[in-house]
Amino acid sequence: MSDTQFTPRVFSGIQPSGGLTLGNYLGALKRFVDMQNEGSFETVYCMVDLHAMTVWQNPADLRHNTRELAAGFIASGIDPSKSILINQSQVPEHAQLAWIFNCVARMGWMQRMTQFKDKAGKNAQNVSLGLFAYPALMAADILVYHATHVPVGDDQKQHLELTRDIAIKFNHDFEVDFFPVIEPVIEGAATRVMSLRDGSKKMSKSDPSDASRINMTDDADTIAKKIRKAKTDPEPLPSEAAGLEERPEARNLINIYSALAEMSVDAVMTDVGGKAFSEFKPMLAELAVEKLAPISTEMARLMNDQAEIDRILAHGAEQAREITAPILAKTYEIVGMIK
Ligand code: AQP
């Protein structure tokens, strides 16, 4: 563990590998806004375009998705005067530190990463080297800011453990106390929002079925239709959370309701226990539209002025580099590179 006192600083990111989903919003973005507004941290938030390209991205789509994601951050409440908002490739120190970490991380560590195994599937020999090295770049994203806290959804837990391992090994190998050992922040009812079509699969931007997810750009009718068609079981809702244990689809819809309403799961169960899904689904649809429609409207408005989005990102990159350039320079010095 580190004895150095680091400035309490939050870093987290989202890939512009498609449109934002309700899973990204509840598991990550909404928490980013909370941590920004809590006021106890400096906050740095990032569109991680270098991560997105670990799987094939059409260049025009990547550019569009990066700007739309920036619009999604701002529309959800990330305020560029309170948080540093950046696009990863515009801050070159991320990729530079990632190379150093490629040389610190061990092959065996990477081979254990379940996200790589899931994404590579049976095709492991044919996926990009970048997909394999993804967690070392993620460690660099975080540690190039000396960030101390990282809010993420549950699926990123293993990558954050690897970030801790990289920091510990670097500090040990070079006999320094330079990189912080970060704290993952995985909190709330919606740390793992599941597919609306299959309660055992994570809701994901890249799921081939659009009906499996709520996109932050969906209109009110589409949101209501997707919730109406969400897979459920025939039983009415239980009155206590324990009754959801063997019912993944029901549990997912309740967790979504709880996170959107900012109510505990127990309080939701008290309100909706005994109701049939035919009664509960319209309640959930109404709540989702109430919370999400203002965000999608604002995203559309911001996307009408892309020059303004680019200006915000350019300014964010300048602010970011004031932090990252000295940390990278010190890292180079520690490992023995000539200035
Ligand atoms: N279903 C989810 N529930 C809760 N949190 C989620 N996150 C993603 N999906 C869910 C969180 O969102 C943040 C950004 O994720 P990402 O874009 O970096 O990549 P991902 O986790 O791989 O998300 P997707 O939507 O599944 O993207 P694709 O399809 O491109 O792989 C992270 O904090 C993540 O935990």
CATH number at residue 80: 3.40.50.620
Whether 152 and 106 map to the same domain: the answer is yes
pLDDT tens-digit profile of 15-69?
999 899 999 999 999 999 999 999 999 999 999 999 999 999 999 999 999 999 9
Whether 134 and 261 map to the same domain: the answer is no
**What are 92's two structure tokens?**
């070159």
**What are 178's two structure tokens?**
């330079």
* pLDDT at 206 (0 to 100): 85
State how beta strands 42-47 and 9-14 pair: parallel
**Which tops the pLDDT comparison, 124 or 162?**
162
CA angle centred on 176, ends 172 and 182, rounded to 5°: 75
In 3D, which of 225, 236, 335, 321 has the Cα closest to residue 277?
Answer: 236
Gap between the Cα atoms of 271 and 288, Å rounded: 17
Distance 291 CA to ligand 1 centre (A): 20
In 3D, which of 13, 98, 11 has the Cα closest to residue 52?
Answer: 13
Whether the per-residue pLDDT at 233 is higher than 60: the answer is yes
* pLDDT at 189 (0 to 100): 80
How many domains are there within the chain? 2
Whether 236 and 118 map to the same domain: the answer is no
Whether 184 and 321 map to the same domain: the answer is yes
Residue 32 Cα distances to 14, 42, 101, 109, 224, angstroms:
11, 11, 26, 28, 26
pLDDT tens-digit profile of 275-301?
999 999 999 999 999 999 999 999 999
The response to whether residue 193 sits with its C-beta less than 6 Å from ligand 1 reads yes
| Residue 4 located in a structural domain | no
pLDDT tens-digit profile of 109-146?
999 999 999 999 888 899 999 999 999 999 999 999 99
Whether 322 and 231 map to the same domain: the answer is no
| Residue 2 located in a structural domain | no
Known catalytic membership, residue 202: yes
CATH classification of the domain holding 265:
1.10.240.10
Whether 25 and 141 map to the same domain: the answer is yes
| Residue 198 located in a structural domain | no
Whether 258 and 320 map to the same domain: the answer is no
| Residue 45 located in a structural domain | yes
**Ligand 1 atom closest to residue 190's alpha carbon, by position in its atom list:** 4
Q: Where does the chain show beta strands of DSSP type E?
A: 9-14, 42-47, 84-87, 149-151, 183-185
In this structure, the residue with its CA closest to atom 33 of ligand 1 is 152
The response to whether residue 203 sits with its C-beta less than 6 Å from ligand 1 reads yes
Provide the domain limits for residue 128.
Answer: 9-192+305-335
Whether 68 and 13 map to the same domain: the answer is yes
Mean pLDDT for all residues in the chain: 96
Percent of the chain with pLDDT over 90: 95
Please, are residues 316 and 85 in contact by the beta-carbon 8 Å criterion? yes
Please tell me which residue in 30, 82, 117, 119 is annotated as part of the active site. Answer: 119
Whether 27 and 147 map to the same domain: the answer is yes
Known catalytic membership, residue 205: yes
**What are 270's two structure tokens?**
């008290």
Whether 128 and 112 map to the same domain: the answer is yes
Helix axes 220-229, 277-303, angle to 10 degrees: 150
In this structure, the residue with its CA closest to atom 21 of ligand 1 is 155
| Residue 202 located in a structural domain | no
Please tell me which residue in 30, 122, 205, 229 is annotated as part of the active site. Answer: 205
Please, are residues 138 and 159 in contact by the beta-carbon 8 Å criterion? yes
Whether 35 and 145 map to the same domain: the answer is yes
Distance 4 CA to ligand 1 centre (A): 32
Whether 28 and 160 map to the same domain: the answer is yes
